């Protein structure tokens, strides 16, 4: 792995990485790594990490995200490498799409470069149970806490030290694990997750600083935004269903950007009796929903009703209705699921 052998051994877990994934990545020389629109730490971290693995293997890689880099992630090394479009002068031989349940979620780059996507094979690496298996090769592990957890094991299988990139690899992967586990508080945190996190920490990932920056530091504008949204919290089903709404006017009033809504739904989910928490986000002619649930309610069943997906405890969807109409439809379905799910144990 490196000149100094790590004390934490991931070999047993890494053995589960499909050989075809390793072979495809090793054979590729010019790789485009792509993450979804409105990216978060797991999407960005896994895309950057795959690029570093390709480069460690002697290839060339371009990390791409259709949207601008959110300010909250700019502290992570390597985030300035992301481009909005593929490089025009590179003849790619592999596309790697990570943390993305459906190909359309990567945004307009798929249409602006349709010939590229029609010609070049796709390696799909994801941990969403709702993944639609759109790749020439699909590695979907719904038991993984994060795509970055999977890519950590992939790095180990490929013999790339987690210390690669002067700490860039470990930091990128740790950010995704920290974000998608809610600082190791979500139920998707498994023994494997903790061993992977320990290996990344051993490789130098500043996990404490990453957690602090992602979850504990907030601009005044973000706090104002949270206050506005939390002040209109509503509930039903004896408190087992809670929701609130983020209106476009809230962003202007708080002087906040849309990315500063990150973490709001998790705040709603802290409601003591809530089996399901929903954040409705107003958009131009449509409504985006973020859902968090507890045992008894599957978030993917709710979001799947409206064409979305995700995980049993965390999922999302875009509802192509104005806010008021979307809220009525989603809450009706959510109430059905909560009533069917019974009472959440204290």
Tens of pLDDT along the chain (346 residues)? 445 678 999 999 999 999 999 999 999 999 999 999 889 999 999 999 999 999 999 999 999 999 999 989 999 999 999 999 999 999 999 999 999 999 999 999 999 999 999 999 999 999 998 899 999 999 999 999 999 999 999 999 999 999 999 999 999 999 999 999 999 998 899 999 999 999 999 999 999 999 999 998 999 999 999 999 999 999 999 999 999 999 999 999 999 999 899 889 999 999 999 999 999 999 998 999 999 999 899 999 999 999 998 888 999 999 999 999 999 999 999 999 999 986 544 4
Q: 166 in the Ramachandran plot: left (φ > 0), alpha (ψ -120 to 50) or beta?
A: left
Q: Within 10 A of 180 (CB to CB), how many other CB atoms are there?
A: 26
Which among 151, 166, 183 is positioned nearest to 14, based on CA atoms?
Answer: 151
Bridge-based pairing of strands 309-310 and 314-319 is antiparallel
Residue matched to tokens 């130098």: 204
Q: 283 phi and psi, to 5 degrees? A: -135, 180
User: What's residue 271's pLDDT?
Assistant: 96
**DSSP states of 202-213:** HTT--HHHHHII
Give the DSSP letter of residue 222: H
311 alpha carbon, distance to own chain's centre: 11
- DSSP annotation string for 304-321: HTTT-EE-SSEEEEEESS
Q: Which CATH number fits domain 11-215: 3.90.1410.10, 3.90.1640.10, 3.40.50.720, 1.10.3720.10?
A: 3.90.1640.10
What's the pLDDT score for residue 67? 92
Q: Where are the domains of the chain?
A: 11-215, 220-341
Structurally, what CATH architecture does the domain formed by 220-341 represent?
Roll (3.10)
Secondary structure (3-state) at 14: helix
Task: Give the whole-angstrom CA distance, residue 115 versus residue 24.
Answer: 21
């Amino acid at each position: 792995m490196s000149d100094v052998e790590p004390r934490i051994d991931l070999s047993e877990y890494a053995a589960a990485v499909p050989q075809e994934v390793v072979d495809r990545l090793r054979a590729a020389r010019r790789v485009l790594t792509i993450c979804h629109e409105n990216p978060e730490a797991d999407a960005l971290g896994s895309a950057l990490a795959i690029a570093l693995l390709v480069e460690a293997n002697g290839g060339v890689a371009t990390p791409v995200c259709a949207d601008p880099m959110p300010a909250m992630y700019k502290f992570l090394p390597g985030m300035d490498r992301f481009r909005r479009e593929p490089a025009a002068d590179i003849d790619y031989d592999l596309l790697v799409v990570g943390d993305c349940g459906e190909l359309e979620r990567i945004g307009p780059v798929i249409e602006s470069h349709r010939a590229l996507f029609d010609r070049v094979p796709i390696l799909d690496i994801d941990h969403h149970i709702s993944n639609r298996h759109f790749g020439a090769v699909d590695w979907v592990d719904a038991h993984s806490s994060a795509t970055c957890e999977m890519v950590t094991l992939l790095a180990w299988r490929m013999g790339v030290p987690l210390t690669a990139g002067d700490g860039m690899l470990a930091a990128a992967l740790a950010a995704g694990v920290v974000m998608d586990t809610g600082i190791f508080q979500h139920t998707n945190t498994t023994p494997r997750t903790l061993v992977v996190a320990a290996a990344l920490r051993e490789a130098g990932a500043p996990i404490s600083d990453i957690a602090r920056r992602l979850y504990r530091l907030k601009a005044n504008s973000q706090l104002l935004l949270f206050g506005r949204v939390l002040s209109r919290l509503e509930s039903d089903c004896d408190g087992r269903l809670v929701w609130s709404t983020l209106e476009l006017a809230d962003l202007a009033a708080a002087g906040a950007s849309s990315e500063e809504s990150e973490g709001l739904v998790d705040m709603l989910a802290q409601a003591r009796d809530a089996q399901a928490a929903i954040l409705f986000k107003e958009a131009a002619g449509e409504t985006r929903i973020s859902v968090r649930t507890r045992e008894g309610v599957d978030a993917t069943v709710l979001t799947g009703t409206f064409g979305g997906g995700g995980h049993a405890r965390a999922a999302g969807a875009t509802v192509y209705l104005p806010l008021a109409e979307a809220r009525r439809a989603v809450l009706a379905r959510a109430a059905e699921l909560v009533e069917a799910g019974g009472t959440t144990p204290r």
